């Protein structure tokens, strides 16, 4: 039997660079401008879930700061999701000022112009005093919007380069039967960081960090020194899927163990998949499968829960971030306890992930390091920068470029 290779992913994916990643990429005005245009201005971006606006007239406002875009996402009368620029066609005032709510019509407070949920202009006070005016030409400007399995995507380009299902590729096909609707209980955390958006994405694309930065919360990785090694990796379009192996057993803390009698949590969800394999009659089981939906969305699915990370640049070194955890509806007051401890432990683990980001940005701006050396298990990260390079036409592995900037 041959020894397993230490470079198994490099051998599998020979076109992904093994050379060090350049660090000017986190502090480059030129690259940021290209990312702004080529990525955030052109690609589909996941901005939430349909169940945030379940009924006709429910809406929320989504800001995409890097394009100074404010978007009203609303449930129309026919049940579909519509997205409009939050800009009144009269003199450009913001139509909806709140973050979310419920409305019968979208009405601008400046001069009272009122739009239907589908964006068509319905009522203009003193309409007859305008000149050669046609209400039909003055609906709210539409934003391209589409929905995949309840996830709402928008695209700021006039015309998306690909329809959403083609953009999502194999990810969309492979995860179409994941039971997202079975986990309607959502907990949402939001914050901003003083760092480049890519440093936030870096935190969620490898498991090399898990035994270390999560040494206190995810203790199973201490007991099994190979548990953090990825089980499989696949790439399609610009997206990536990486699966983590199941723990043979999960050693729960006392308070956690009590919760697990009534609910599920991340560590238990990873470890119980092993047992499920013994019964092929059971429905498809998910261990921990991380999905990078390029450019800025992560959808990590497990058995019994899933969670997402959404990352949006505000400026070169300022980033907006939202984390959502989704659980089943609790069936008893004891299950509410179980869910609470799952949530708190996942939240506290997230705080470990987030601990490094601003330190890294400060270090990059100090110029102490010109490169990051990435190992085989960081393959998804290396693919991310290969992809960023292709999209922006700036090679993220080109160490010499820093000298051009200096």
Partner 1 sequence: MATKALPEGFSQLEEFVADWIFATEGERLAKRISTDYAETKRFYSAAIEAAPQALDLLKERPATGEMPDEEARLSGLMLMLAEIAPAVELFGAPLEAGAHDPRKLEIVHEEAS
Binding residues for partner 1, rule: CB under 8 A, are 60, 98-101, 186-191, 216-217, 219, 253-256, 258-259, 261-262, 322, 329-337, 340-341, 343-345, 347-348, 350-355
Nearer to partner 1, 186 or 276 (CB): 186
Least Å from the CB of residue 332 to partner 1: 5
Nearer to partner 1, 195 or 374 (CB): 195
Rounded to whole angstroms, the Cα distance separating 355 from 336 reads 28
Rounded to whole angstroms, the Cα distance separating 111 from 325 reads 41
Structure tokens at 89: 């066609």
CA-CA-CA-CA torsion for 191, 156, 55, 321, nearest 10 degrees?
Answer: -10
Least Å from the CB of residue 188 to partner 1: 4
Least Å from the CB of residue 255 to partner 1: 3
Least Å from the CB of residue 121 to partner 1: 26
Please state whether the peptide bond connecting residue 295 to the residue before it is cis, i.e. omega within 30 degrees of 0. yes
Rounded to whole angstroms, the Cα distance separating 91 from 139 reads 13
Nearer to partner 1, 257 or 369 (CB): 257
Q: Give the 3-state secondary structure of residue 279.
A: coil
Nearer to partner 1, 13 or 189 (CB): 189
Nearer to partner 1, 274 or 353 (CB): 353
Structure tokens at 195: 């760092």
Q: 226 with 398: CB under 8 angstroms? A: no
Nearer to partner 1, 75 or 343 (CB): 343
β-partners of residue 244 are: 288
Nearer to partner 1, 91 or 359 (CB): 359
Question: How many beta carbons lie within 10 A of that of residue 90, not counting itself?
Answer: 15
Q: 75 with 117: CB under 8 angstroms? A: yes
Location of structure tokens 């290969």: 386
- Give the H/E segment covering residue 49: strand 45-49
Least Å from the CB of residue 247 to partner 1: 17
Least Å from the CB of residue 237 to partner 1: 30
Rounded to whole angstroms, the Cα distance separating 262 from 258 reads 8
Least Å from the CB of residue 216 to partner 1: 5
């Amino acid at each position: 039997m041959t020894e397993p290779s230490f470079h198994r992913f490099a051998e599998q994916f020979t076109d992904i660079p093994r050379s060090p990643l350049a660090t000017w990429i986190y502090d480059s005005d030129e690259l940021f401008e290209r990312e702004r245009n080529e990525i955030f201005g052109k690609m589909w971006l996941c901005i939430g879930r349909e169940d945030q606006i379940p009924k006709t007239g429910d809406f929320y406002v989504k800001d995409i700061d890097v394009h100074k875009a404010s978007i009203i996402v609303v449930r129309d009368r026919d049940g579909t999701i519509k997205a409009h620029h939050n800009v009144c066609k009269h003199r450009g005032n913001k139509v909806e000022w709140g973050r979310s709510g419920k409305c019968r019509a979208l009405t601008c407070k400046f001069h009272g112009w009122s739009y239907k949920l589908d964006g068509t202009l319905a009522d203009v006070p003193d309409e007859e005093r305008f000149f050669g005016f046609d209400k039909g030409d003055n609906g709210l400007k539409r934003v391209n919007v589409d929905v995949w399995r309840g996830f709402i995507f928008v695209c700021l380009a006039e015309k998306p380069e690909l329809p959403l299902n083609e953009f999502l590729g194999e990810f969309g096909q492979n995860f179409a039967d994941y039971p997202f609707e079975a986990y309607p209980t959502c907990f949402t955390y939001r914050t901003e960081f003083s760092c480049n958006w890519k440093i936030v994405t870096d935190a969620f694309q490898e498991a090399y960090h898990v035994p270390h930065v999560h040494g206190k919360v995810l203790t199973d990785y201490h007991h099994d020194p190979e548990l953090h090694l990825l089980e499989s990796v696949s790439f399609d379009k610009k997206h990536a899927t990486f699966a983590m192996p199941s723990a043979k057993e999960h050693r729960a803390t006392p308070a956690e163990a009590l919760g697990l009698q009534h609910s599920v949590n991340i560590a238990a969800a990873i470890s119980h998949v092993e047992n499920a394999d013994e019964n092929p009659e059971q429905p498809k089981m998910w261990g921990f499968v991380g999905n990078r939906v390029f450019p800025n969305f992560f959808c990590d699915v497990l058995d019994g829960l899933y969670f997402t990370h959404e990352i949006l640049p505000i400026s070169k070194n300022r980033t907006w971030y939202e984390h959502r955890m989704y659980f089943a509806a609790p069936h008893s007051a004891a299950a509410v306890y179980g869910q609470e401890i799952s949530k708190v432990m996942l939240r506290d683990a997230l705080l470990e992930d987030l601990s490094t980001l601003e330190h890294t940005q400060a270090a990059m701006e100090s110029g102490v390091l010109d490169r990051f050396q990435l190992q085989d298990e960081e393959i998804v990260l290396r693919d991310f920068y290969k992809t960023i390079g292709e999209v922006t036409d700036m090679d993220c592995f080109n160490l010499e470029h820093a000298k051009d900037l200096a």
